[in-house]
Amino acid sequence: MRTRPPQRLDTGRYVGVDRSATAITVATTRNLESVAAGTARFVTAALGDLDAGEFDPFDTVSPCAVPSSTT
């Protein structure tokens, strides 16, 4: 997951989604100012379990796959 939202949002908000609670905690901690301002939100969930209506309207989805370690 991208842990830093774009530095400047003139309008709208950034929503980060990851299944890992640890990743969400790290992202939230790194972006406390944006979270407090309401321009960033981080959600622990599997993408398939999200209610898209909760984030409507949205205009961009940026996937990021991180290979898992098998060792």
Q: Does the bond joining 63 to the residue before it have cis omega, within 30 degrees of 0? A: no
For the CA atoms of 57, 61, 67, 68, the dihedral, rounded to the nearest 10 degrees, stands at: 0
pLDDT beyond 70 at 15: yes
- Structure tokens of 69? 């370690």
3-state SS class at 41: strand
Report the share of the chain in percent with pLDDT over 70: 72
Q: How confident is the model at residue 2 (pLDDT cuts 50, 70, 90)?
A: low
pLDDT beyond 60 at 1: no
Q: Does the bond joining 57 to the residue before it have cis omega, within 30 degrees of 0? A: yes
